[in-house]
Structure 1
Amino acid sequence: MPNPYREIFRRPGTKGFAAAAFVARLPLPMTTIGLVAMLSQTHGEYWIAGAVSATFALANAFIAPQVSRWVDNKGQSAVLVPTTIVAVAALVALAAAAWARWPNWTLFVFAVIAGVMPSMMALVRARWTEIYRDRPELHTAFAFESVMDEVVYICGPIFGIGLSVSLFPEAGVLASAAFLAAGTALFVAQKSTEPKVDPHRIRNGGSVMRLLPMWFVVTVFAGMGAIFGTAEVSVVAFAQAMGHKGAASYILAAYAAGSFIVGLVIGAIEFKTPLARRLVLASLIAAVTTLPMPFVGNLWALTLVVFLAGAAISPTFITGMSLIERIVPASQLTEGITYAMTGVGIGFAAGSSLAGWTIDAYGASNGFWVAVAGGAVAFVTMLVGYGRLSSPAGPTAAGGAALNPAE
């Protein structure tokens, strides 16, 4: 039986840009946690650490789609070089500001500027789409990237915290800048696989968010992001309440492991079911797996429940990304995928904040109700939007071609 993952790397250049993209997207999770690790040590206050980290995350969530739209207009190389230079300079400035104890407002300014960091998760998927558009290999490629996302979000925080604690406070943020510079340089150097800019694209066609189906998909991703954010906060709080705070690390690892394993399996299967129907089923499973969370009574039970919840993540993301590829015009794919990731970021921020408030007010176990709400949002959104997403006469691309997201 042929290995589908081996097959997608038979095309020249695929190994090169995939490896470069892995390095270039490590900085996003490294920076968010690295800022907390750095500023909590240099300033001794968690409020400033959390606030600056949140400022960077939100700035990136809102700026990255505009950067990706610029990429779709001008090309990856033309945009990645200047934006990466700005982002790297801002990260170095953040480290310098923390080390020299510059005024706190400078930290927020540099955090906003660093938010121009490009969405490498979208850029690498755009390259796969350029190579395997309308071919079954694209499903496997998206599955592979979802698995790599999990690896990045496991390794990134480990590097960010580990370097800051073991070397010096600014080490995590500086390493993030170095990874971003090196990874992007290697990625840009892969010219043969760079998507071509469509010369016939209508420049004033507007954002992909003018397409109603995109709102449904982005909202589904926001609901999934709320589950992520809730899990990170509530698992730590529950483990601490049980007297074993350190257990949170292996419980969260089980969450990532569930998504990792199922993502690999999903990528090896060639589905015949329409994408919209698969996303309804995936969002239903994701919602159902959150229901036991508020009722678990010990760490082992929580580990099992969290593993099952993680297993529902990859199918949702893989299918959702494939659906976006059918919804948006080909010339705006990078922007479309970036908006989906923005939805995850906003959902994550909302979920973690609401979970924290709920835990403080009602206890650790009740924080998981926010995850239940996130799952409900994702599933109900798909029920409401199913007719539009599965319609044979899908939204119309900028060039006038009808798209069929259901196929």
Structure 2
Amino acid sequence: MLRPYRDVLARPGALAFSLAGLLARLPISTVGIGVVLAVSARYGSYALAGRVAAVVVLTQALCGPPLSRLVDRHGQARVMGPAVVSTVLGLGVLAGTATAAGPVWLLYVGAVVVGATAGSVGALVRARWSHLLTTPAEVHTAYSWESTLDEVVFMVGPVLATVLATNVVPAGGLLLAAGAAGVGGWLLLAQRDTEPPSSAGADHVGGPSVVSGSLLVLVGSFVGMGAIFGATDVAVVAFTQELGRKPLAGVVLGVMALGSGLAGFAYGARSWTGPQWRRYGVGMVALGVGVGLFGTVGTIPALGGVMLAVGMAIAPTLIAGNGLVAELVPRGRLTEGLTWVGTALAVGVSAGSWAAGTLVDRSGSSGGFAVVMVAGGTAAVTTLLALPTLRRATAGAPTTLAVPDDRAGRPTAAAGLSRRSRRRRRPDRT
């Protein structure tokens, strides 16, 4: 199981940029819960906390794809260097305003700055992998590795943010996000040898936008999945607070990430021959069914058990979804394409956190979990409706990602072949 991971991480510079990316994307698991913990503690309103978190994500949804388009054109360091500085400043405004219980409008200013400049670190790292590796199987393993690290972020981040917010300062989660964004971003962008070449001066395939009808339906299902995550964050914080165990909120959220990380690691160690769209559909339906169990929990151990089971469906679904993006977008637009689905996920998180925060204020954690279950059902149905379109759009595509064979971006012949085709062309071993 470990050999595929050892092989890809042994590539020059691979482990270094992957670990830098791990630190740089810690904010994706700490900003949301950091806002909820800081704002609810100082302003006494989950609804306000949900709105501020929603502004972060909605702004990122608007600005993320154009920012990634600039990255594809001009390079990661040139575009994201100033963006990282702005993100850190915006998080500082959020943390300082919340700590001082300052004017609400200033919370929104900080949220807008963070959302507009955060970008998608996951897309940056995956683009480096696609540039570095030479076979579809290797890229599948690398993407699975990154999805596992995503879950490590979601295991560790909420726990650290909760501990800091409940034991040190309410804005501790936001301060943690600022430090990770600054240090991790600098470490990642400083590694120029593994940075993909920019497309400046080349034909920018696909016009001003990479969005197609098939990508749009994938984006729609990612919105539903994101709503599950956003509503779950708020509902879990409210549930643990009702039981007088609010510091355990981060631990419970980490349990879901643990299940996801384990499943993603096992998924990436296996070579899959079935189409990505089918695996994505199975994962989304499993996720929708799993969150329906939230209506049965009444204790923290029971909630932890359901979170673990739900988590097992997350990483494999995300890996298959990211794989679908590589089959749907032009080669030179991968960062932008991955950012679109990441943005869709973020929009869902925003909507889910806002809706759950509103219902928690009215009817407690049960209202928040109701939002989670509705989001799960909606995501499953949306995905089932999208599968025929995805199947047609990816007909004949390889079951894993096609990647370039050199820095000029020319695809190898093997990279464009399905597993079945490669078996037919394998030379006689005699």
TM range (shorter): 0.7 to 0.9
Q: What is the CA–CA distance in structure 2 between the aligned matches of 1:8 and 1:293, rounded to whole Å?
A: 38
Aligned to 1:287: 288
Does the aligned pair in 2 maintain the 1:60–1:117 contact within 8 Å? yes
1:65 corresponding residue in structure 2:
65
Asked if 1 retains the 8 angstrom alpha-carbon contact of 2:46 and 2:358, the reply is: no
Distance, in Å, in 2 between the alignment partners of 1:390 and 1:330 is: 19
Counting only pairs closer than 5 Å after superposition, residues 5-404 of structure 1 correspond to structure 2 as 5-39=5-39, 49-97=49-97, 103-115=103-115, 116-132=117-133, 134-168=135-169, 172-198=173-199, 199-202=201-204, 205-209=207-211, 211-239=212-240, 248-296=249-297, 298-358=299-359, 364-365=365-366, 367-391=368-392
Question: Cα 1:174–1:405, aligned 2, differ >3 Å: closer, same or farther?
Answer: farther
Residue 273 of structure 1 deviates from its aligned partner by 0.5
Residue pair 2:236, 2:253 contacting (<8 A) in 1 also: yes
Any unmatched runs of 5+ in structure 1?
Answer: none
- What is the TM-score normalised by the length of structure 2? 0.81
1:9 CA displacement: 0.6
- Write the distance in 1 (CA, Å) between the matches of 2:385 and 2:134: 28
Shift of 1:107: 3.1
Q: Sequence identity of aligned pairs in percent?
A: 38
Q: Do the aligned residues in 1 keep the contact of 2:276 with 2:320 (CA within 8 Å)?
A: yes
Distance 1:78 1:40, change over 3 A: same
Residue 81 of structure 1, CA deviation: 1.1
**Paired residues of 2:217 and 2:386 also in contact (CA < 8 A):** yes
Using the alignment, how far apart are the partners of 2:6 and 2:273 within structure 1? 22
Look up the equivalent residue of 2:84 and give its one-letter code: T
Q: Which moved more, 1:230-239 or 1:274-283?
A: 230-239
8 A contact 1:55–1:112 mirrored in 2: yes
Counterparts of 1:96 and 1:393, CA distance in 2? 48
1:194 maps to a residue whose letter is E
Q: Which moved more, 1:240-249 or 1:59-68?
A: 240-249
Q: Which runs of 5+ in 2 are unaligned?
A: 398-408, 420-430
Deviation at 1:153, TM superposition (A): 2.2
What are the superposed Cα offsets for residues 165-214 of structure 1, whole Å, 9 maximum, x if unpaired? 544455543443332222122111211111112343327702222x1111
Q: Please identify, of 49-58 and 118-127, the stretch whose mean Cα deviation from structure 2 is larger.
A: 49-58
Q: Distance in 2 between matches of 1:338 and 1:393?
A: 19
Aligned AA (2:112): V
Q: Judging changes above 3 Å, is the alpha-carbon distance between structure 1 residues 78 and 35 closer, same or farther for their aligned structure 2 residues? A: same
Matched pairs, number? 402
**Any conservation in 1 of the 2:162–2:247 contact (CA below 8 Å)?**
no
Cα distance 1:300–1:36, how it changes in 2: closer, same or farther (>3 A)? closer
Distance across 2 between alignment mates of 1:36 and 1:2: 38
Contact 1:326 1:404 in 2 (8 A): no
2:24 partner letter: A
CA contact (8 A) 1:323 1:405 kept: no
Comparing 358-367 with 3-12, greater Cα deviation is found at 358-367
1:367 CA displacement? 4.5
C-alpha distance in 2, partners of 1:29/1:268?
A: 25
- Pick closer, same or farther for the CA change 1:252–1:163 going to 2, 3 Å: closer
- Separation (CA, whole Å) in 1 of partners of 2:302 and 2:99: 43
| Shift in Å, 1:296 | 4.1
Cα distance, 1:292 vs structure 2 = 3.0
> 1:321 and 1:202 mapped to 2: Cα distance?
21
Amino acid at match of 1:202: H
TM-score of the pair, normalised by structure 1: 0.86
* Cα distance in structure 2, aligned partners of 1:4 and 1:261: 16
Name the aligned partner's letter for residue 176 of structure 1.
A
For the residue of structure 2 that corresponds to 1:200, the secondary structure is coil
Q: Which amino acid aligns with 1:11?
A: R
Q: CA RMSD in A?
A: 3.3
* Cα distance, 1:253–1:177 mapped onto 2, change above 3 Å: closer
Contact 1:393/1:404 (<8 A) preserved: no
